[in-house]
Structure 1
Amino acid sequence: MIDVYLYSGFLGSGKTSLLLNSISQLKTAGRKPAVLMNEFGEIPVDSDSVAATGEVPLKELLSGCICCTGSEKTEAQLQALLEDYEDIDVILIETTGAAHPVEALDAVYSPLFSDRLRVKGIVTVADALRWVHREELSPRIHSLMLEQIRHAHIIALNKSDLVTESQLATISMELANLNTSAPIIQTVQGKLDFSFIEKTLAVEKQPQQPIISGKHLPLSSKVITFSNPVKKSDVEVWTAALPDTVYRMKGYIPIEGVKNPMLFQYAYGMVNWMPEYVKMPERVVVIGEGIDHIDWSS
């Protein structure tokens, strides 16, 4: 049977970083991983990062949810993975940051795969800095974050380097009070040994908490395209002026004097740039609340 691990967590928490690290470790160990990714919106930005790792079987769900309402699409993509790649021995599923993790698992527990897939559990990535300011989120978004923590079998407390030691201790205690059974591992840039995940989830897990649906959240996405290169400083000034309801941005921006568009990431007011060595589509995906009412013309 093929082991399945589900990576959950709010927008911008570091799920894709954890996923990429896991893929690298699995390949180094001689394993054959495959990936199913759920993107929020029409543009497969995070999936592009996985594709760049080379020869990792990948299927995507765009503008949909790996949950009960999207179970048919999920089943179709999983079936395609199993039929197209006979030698895979582990599947990593990354949900959109707006998905409820148990709803996502329910879609994977399909009778079509009962004799082939073995669901091991949920790894939730918690953003330490966002957690400190979680009360600033809208009630429904706040509730979703809590549910993602409650239903985890492992909690990766990511971006732990961006808060103080005192804050880190408080956050760990608060997460432990929400979920008394999941180990909490402090991480930076999603670096967590997959061997730890594997050993911790060696016994098949079942969700114990009642489900509070994450559907119908007031989130939307927008794609911004670029016709000309821009200055990094101008982009950073622009992002600093955005409202707090813009939770996540990710994509590739053409920068003046730089050959290829740079990978741009934004989460909770923080910007990160990374160079790219191949030509990537010049566009950025924005995810948040009320973004249709924001003037993006600048």
Structure 2
Amino acid sequence: MKIPVILLSGFLGSGKTTLLLSLLKESKARDLNSGVVMNELGKRDVDGYILQEHTGASVEKLLDGCVCCSRKEELPKSLSVLLGRRPDVIYIELTGVADPEEIIKTIQESPLQERLTLHYSVAILDAENALEYSSRLSADKQLVRTLRRQLTSADLIVVNKSDLVEPETLWKIEKVARKQNAEAEIVFTHYSEINLTPLLSGIVPRELYAPVPQRTSQAFKGASLKKTYAEDGGVAVKEPHEERDASFSQVTAITLTYPQAGTSVPSREQLEAFFQKWDGSLLRAKGHVHLAEKEPVQLVQYAGMRTTWEPSRYPGLPYVVFIGMNLNEVQLAELWSALFKP
């Protein structure tokens, strides 16, 4: 019996963790034992803690690097650990700058191919920012190529946050996606809400195991936007394979903590202004922060020039992970420290 693997890719802040949370909750409702490999660029775990807090899932965390390049050798080890826990399904959530084709190849070429099977590869796009990625990130040719491969390797493309843009923008996004992948199902949604039944089709608890049926096209109808737009006749563009060391060259992750006790903490407005001031070089920020002594800890997330907040029960010291293009760590740390007054 091979364990099905569902792969989630997509650029920073597109909505991968939100979709994974939904999948884990639905899996639990179906009495499925789920395993998760969570990969993060930063040295501190944010998304893995969110998953464990909300679902109690078994999570293997690969931090401080990308699992398709610098952390590539660790993936088989993490999968082996999860297999020892007898899962019914394994989810792999990649960093926003990971090449899923490399992950698929790693699974297919490792000894684990006898125990694992790729069930679905899902790519998630941020409708607000997807059309700007190629120009905004053009200085990092490796990253632009990686974002294309996220599309070419996908069985399903989820255009998330579609409620925040005009219908004309959705048409343009579909044209871009179709030029990279003419066969994948495309759905338009918000809050990563899609019909999960096709993704989990054929996956049952071990004692009820039966062969997984083949997927059928148009299986994802019933997502929050049921209508897909007409295809433009494009064909999938498959770039020739080439050896490369990384899926990006100019993206860095910097983790900054709160100073020791005795300093005042920044307000919500100050933190939001801090995220906005980096003139496009900051792509993503996330972490667990204190806003005032008596207020609860907050999970803060910044992506696409938007900041969201929600209460958190994180018990450790506050921190924020900053991910961006050519971030100046010294300057970032100095301005960060200036937010905290003695």
Q: Could you say whether these structures have the same fold, taking a TM-score greater than 0.5 normalized by the shorter chain as the test?
A: yes
Aligned to 1:275: 311
* Residue 78 of structure 1: aligned partner: 79
Query: How far apart, in 1, do the equivalents of 2:90 and 2:105 lie?
Result: 16
**TM-score of the aligned structures, taking structure 1 as reference length:** 0.90
Q: Judge conservation of contact 1:95–1:104 (CA < 8 Å) in 2.
A: no
Partner of 1:260: 296
Distance 1:38 1:245, change over 3 A: same
What is the distance in 1 between the residues matched to 2:16 and 2:56?
A: 20
Change (3 A) 1:42 1:136: same
For 1:211 and 1:237, how far apart are their aligned partners in 2? 42
Q: Trace 1:145-224 onto structure 2 (pairs within 5 A).
A: 145-199=147-201, 202-203=213-214, 209=238, 210-211=240-241, 213=244, 214-224=246-256
The answer as to 2:44 corresponding to 1:43 is yes
Q: How many residues align?
A: 294
Whole-angstrom CA distance in 1 between matches of 2:27 and 2:281:
36
Provide the TM-score with structure 2 as the length reference. Answer: 0.79
**Equivalent of 1:237 in 273, 280, 286:** 273
Aligned to 1:138: 138
Take 2:294 and 2:163, find their aligned partners in 1: how far apart are those partners?
Answer: 29
8 Å CA contact 1:40–1:64 kept in 2: the answer is: yes
Report if aligned partners of 2:180, 2:237 keep a CA contact under 8 Å in 1.
Answer: no
Deviations for 1:28-80, whole angstroms, at most 9, x for unmatched residues?
A: 12211110011102111111111112431110111233226544311111111
Deviation at 1:281, TM superposition (A): 3.7
- Structure 1: tracts of 5 or more residues without a match: none
Shift of 1:169: 2.1
The equivalent residue for 2:10 is 9
Following superposition of structure 1 onto structure 2, how do residues 38-117 of structure 1 map, counting pairs within 5 Å? 38-67=39-68, 70-83=71-84, 85-86=85-86, 88-117=87-116
Structure 2: runs of 5+ lacking an equivalent:
203-211, 216-235
Q: 1:5 to 1:218 in 2, by over 3 A?
A: same
Of the structure 1 ranges 193-202 and 265-274, higher mean CA displacement relative to structure 2 is found in 193-202
Separation of aligned partners in 2, 1:54 and 1:188: 21
Alpha-carbon deviations, 1:179-231, whole Å to 9, x = none? 10001111212222321223499548xx9934465534211111121234321
Are 1:226 and 2:258 matched, yes or no?
Answer: yes
Aligned pairs for 1:121-132 (under 5 A) are 121-132=120-131
Tell me how far apart the structure 1 counterparts of residues 137 and 314 of structure 2 sit (CA, whole Å): 37
1:89 aligned partner, one-letter code: D
Q: Deviations over 1:107-138 (max 9, x none)?
A: 22244222321112310011111113222222
| 2:288 and 2:314 in contact (8 A); partners too | no
Specify which of 279, 284, 289 is matched with residue 248 of structure 1.
Answer: 284
Aligned partners of 2:275 and 2:285 also within 8 Å: no
* CA shift digits 1:7-43 (9 cap, x unpaired): 0111111111111111111111221111001110211
Q: CA offset at residue 92 of structure 1? A: 0.2
Contact 1:102 1:211 in 2 (8 A): no
Q: Matches of 2:26 and 2:148 in 1, distance apart?
A: 29
Cα deviations by residue, 1:116-173 (Å, 9 ceiling, x for unpaired): 2111231001111111322222242333222211221110101111111221222123
In structure 1, distance between residues paired with 2:181 and 2:294: 46
Alpha-carbon spacing, 1:211–1:190, altered in 2? closer, same or farther (3 Å): farther
- Asked whether the equivalents of residues 21 and 55 of structure 2 are also in contact (C-alpha less than 8 Å), the reply is no
Q: Contact (CA 8 Å) 2:107, 2:113: kept in 1 or not? A: no
Report the RMSD for the aligned CA atoms in angstroms: 2.3
Aligned twin of 2:224: none
